[in-house]
Structure 1
Amino acid sequence: MRKDPMLRGMITRITRAVKHIKALDEILEALAEEMERSERLERELEREKQLRVELENRLTEFSIALKNRERELKFLKQKISELERELSSVLEASLLKYLQSSKGTLPIKEYIQEYGTTQERIIEALKSLHRKGLIKIAREKEP
């Protein structure tokens, strides 16, 4: 039995249409997968952006804290310098008074024990008093 040419043409067109539909279906499926992948990547990118912002904020906080600590450290160093200068002045005055009352002699070890200071500080204070012309330094003569 011979097929009708019109029927054959319709079958051919239907076969082609089915192939096109299958191809379109595969394309749509691939497109859906790609869109899902793209959405997943966008969510990951958004999380990364949020993480970056959080890290930048923490870095800013740490930077501010560090600057505050540096200022505080600078302030404390200045205070220490002021206190050391004041201590030197007090030590010089104390040494001068001690030397006046002891007729110019200074047993350094006894002075250290009595006044709770160090030999280095005493020597520096004596040198300062000498530079200012307030005392003369002479070593004790050995007997």
Structure 2
Amino acid sequence: MPLWHIYHPVGAYSDQDKQEFARDITKFYTGVGLPDFYVVALFHEIPESSFFIGGEPTGNTVRVVVEHIARHTQDPHLRKRMTEALNALMLRYTKDRGLHWEFHVDETPQDMWMIAGLWPPAPGSEAEQAWARENRPIP
């Protein structure tokens, strides 16, 4: 499960922008075989009076925290490619709008999560493919 927390200035994104951003995020992960419902994007509007960088208020920064839970990789080249691909995904919603952006990716141990009380199936397994086809967890 990728979980994206997108902290952004008030008014930076319309409802349509948020939906498009979430769809682009989802498309990225379903492209590597994850079920749609694994992908969660949460948008957090932060007023300038509550968003500080270096002790100074900012009204033009987007800070993204990505939590990877369903998939991890230890290969440094794959990690670099994935990070660059995530950055490229964000450009339309950050750089192209004149916003400053920062992000990082955390990896949660795979044995520390459940969905609807179920242990997720092994990555790439037939059971996971069934979850993707049904777009829901299946006991």
Please state which band the TM-score falls in when normalised by the shorter chain. under 0.3
Which structure would you say has the larger Rg?
1
Q: More strand by proportion, 1 or 2? A: 2
TM-score by length of 2: 0.21
TM-score (norm 1): 0.20
- Report which of the two has the higher share of helix: 1
| Structure of greater relative contact order (alpha carbons < 8 Å, 6+ residues apart) | 2
